[in-house]
């Protein structure tokens, strides 16, 4: 048992580390007249002023989304206030058309890799909060990270989102070392080609390290944009500073990270307010960074977590009907940005919302620390941040997508060919992403079918490739067909 003096020294070291994290000057430069870009009163005014919208106004807004223009806050508030069920069906169908116009019939897959659950914060809704004495704390060693990566590569994954708690044990040196370990991992034909990161907000100097180590997207969720609610649910820790978190992705872009990702945790406050907050976040990023907003937007719902009564007590839980609505409105509000639906949601909900605009999802998901290589079967709440709703294997998910007509994409060519940041936004806003991404999706899908798929999935997948090839313009299709033959003969990582 550790001595009291040792424990006290550790506490002092953590407190000293916490005091050094926040750099106020890296917040202040983005404020306008001392205010951040979320005006709670203005958002409430817009939501109240646009109740019971006229169908003609709603349809005008839908037409604007179809032209791939970002909506203004008043327009999004109008969609959020639609009550007529027939109008909602029009909204859903338009959202599906927008998604297809920009991204085509493809879904990008990834897996989360949780590296540590130590945390200095005390978020009321989180199983990892520092005062949760029922959480089994663990930080993976570099060798354990390699083992986790080996399992994920052996399943067929090509991209990960690596997740870290906010704690000195997960400092920038640890994050850098774990990412390097993943990139070094090889199993047969497989490798992780792109690592995205979900980590605590950092200062610009540390974010530059992430850029240098070669991450794809840097992801920070504001959780809730409502100032008062934010204060209530984040009573202690670095995360209690609303603005340090709010401008985390501004700093990331300033540090040279091209792709950033925003999100809100739905269930902390009114879902309509949070959708508006995500839109205002998008607008402010685009304003400061030459039209480059978030690469993706996420919208997780609160899920049960061990010894976390807040989740049962909140009055803002989002039902399935409203969840589908908020996803569709986000797709229409920011037509060119990726939308991520995760394995927090059960399979039937994922199927439902995929059809109104989602572009990315995880599969074969385990979120316990060391859960992939330990290979335990049941979810263990004491090792997890929350419960997941869809634990199906990657192969099962891919087969279902193929049966629904969706190509599963493992493509990371955009990152490695420079199609990121402003370049990506430019082609996305012109509806041209699929010109590059659909051919590469087919090629990476073929790799998966050759190397990892079950016979049942391979059969369905090959049939889908045959159906999708004629949709590619002839000159590019000829190249894709040649590359498919080369993949059949053993080549890998061919891209356009």
Q: What is the pTM of this model?
A: 0.94
Instruction: Note the pLDDT of residue 424.
Output: 72
Q: Considering the chain, what is the average pLDDT of its residues?
A: 93
- Over residues 313-333, the mean pLDDT reads 97
Residue of higher predicted confidence among 437 and 480: 480
Residues 6+ apart with CB under 8 A from 345: 301, 353, 389, 390
Instruction: Note the pLDDT of residue 414.
Output: 61
User: Are 365 and 390 in contact, with CB atoms under 8 Å apart?
Assistant: yes
How large is the C-alpha radius of gyration of the chain? 22
Q: How far apart are CA 248 and CA 244, in angstroms?
A: 6
Q: How far apart are CA 471 and CA 476, in angstroms?
A: 10
User: Are 414 and 439 in contact, with CB atoms under 8 Å apart?
Assistant: no
Least confident window among 66-70, 269-273, 349-353, 408-412: 408-412
Q: At what angle do helices 73-80 and 271-288 cross, to 10 degrees?
A: 160
Within the chain, what is the greatest distance between any pair of CA atoms? 72
Q: How far apart are CA 120 and CA 139, in angstroms?
A: 14
Q: How far apart are CA 129 and CA 107, in angstroms?
A: 33
- Over residues 288-305, the mean pLDDT reads 95
Place 386 in a pLDDT band, splitting at 50, 70 and 90: confident
Helix/strand number for the chain, H first, E second: 23, 11
Q: What is the pLDDT of residues 132-170, one digit of tens each?
A: 999 999 999 999 999 999 999 999 999 999 999 999 999
Q: What is the pLDDT of residues 3-22, one digit of tens each?
A: 555 545 455 589 889 999 99
Cα of first residue to Cα of last residue in the chain, in angstroms, is 58
Spans of all domains in the chain: 430-488
For residue 493, give Cα distances in angstroms to 186, 410, 482.
Answer: 13, 10, 14
């Amino acid at each position: 048992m550790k001595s009291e003096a040792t424990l006290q020294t550790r506490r002092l070291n953590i407190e000293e580390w916490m005091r050094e994290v926040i750099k106020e000057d890296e917040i202040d430069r983005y404020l306008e007249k001392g205010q951040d870009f979320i005006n709670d009163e203005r958002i409430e005014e817009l939501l109240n002023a646009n109740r019971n919208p006229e169908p003609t106004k709603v349809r005008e807004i839908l037409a604007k989304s179809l032209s791939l223009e970002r909506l203004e806050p008043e327009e999004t508030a109008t969609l959020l206030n639609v009550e007529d069920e027939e109008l909602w069906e029009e909204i859903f169908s338009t959202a599906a058309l927008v998604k297809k116009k920009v991204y085509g019939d493809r879904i990008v897959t990834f897996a989360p890799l949780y590296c540590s659950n130590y945390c200095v914060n005390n978020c009321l809704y989180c199983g990892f909060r520092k005062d949760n004495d029922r959480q089994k704390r663990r930080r993976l060693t570099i060798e354990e990270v390699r083992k986790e990566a080996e399992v994920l590569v052996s399943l067929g994954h090509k991209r990960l989102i690596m997740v870290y708690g906010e704690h000195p044990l997960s400092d920038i040196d640890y994050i850098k070392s774990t990412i390097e370990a993943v990139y070094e991992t090889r199993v047969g034909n497989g490798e992780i080609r792109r690592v995205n990161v979900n980590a605590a907000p950092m200062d610009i100097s540390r974010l530059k390290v992430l850029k240098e180590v070669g991450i794809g997207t840097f992801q920070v969720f504001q959780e809730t944009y409502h100032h008062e609610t934010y204060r209530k649910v984040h009573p202690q820790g670095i995360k209690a500073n609303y603005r340090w978190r709010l401008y985390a992705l501004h700093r990331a872009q300033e540090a040279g990270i091209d792709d950033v990702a925003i999100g809100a945790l739905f269930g902390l406050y009114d879902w309509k307010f949070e959708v508006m907050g995500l839109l205002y976040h998008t607008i402010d990023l685009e304003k400061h960074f030459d039209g480059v907003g978030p690469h993706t937007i996420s919208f997780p719902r609160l899920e049960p977590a061990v010894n976390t009564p807040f989740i049962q007590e909140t009055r803002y839980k989002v039902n399935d009907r409203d969840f589908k609505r908020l996803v569709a409105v986000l797709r229409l509000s920011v037509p060119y940005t990726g939308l991520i639906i995760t394995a927090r949601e059960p399979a039937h909900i994922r199927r439902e919302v995929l059809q109104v605009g989602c572009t990315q999802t995880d599969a074969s998901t385990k979120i316990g620390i060391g859960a992939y290589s330990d290979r335990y079967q049941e979810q263990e709440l004491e090792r997890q941040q929350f419960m997941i709703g869809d634990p199906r294997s990657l192969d099962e998910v891919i087969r279902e997508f193929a049966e629904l007509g969706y190509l599963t994409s493992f493509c990371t060519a955009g990152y490695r060919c420079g199609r990121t940041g402003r370049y990506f936004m430019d082609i996305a806003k012109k509806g041209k992403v699929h010109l590059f991404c659909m051919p590469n999706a087919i090629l990476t899908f073929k790799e998966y079918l050759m190397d990892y798929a079950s016979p049942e999935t391979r059969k369905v997948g090959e049939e889908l490739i045959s159906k999708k090839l004629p949709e590619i313009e002839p000159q590019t299709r000829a190249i894709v067909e040649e590359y498919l033959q080369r993949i059949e003969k053993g080549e890998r990582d061919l891209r356009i």
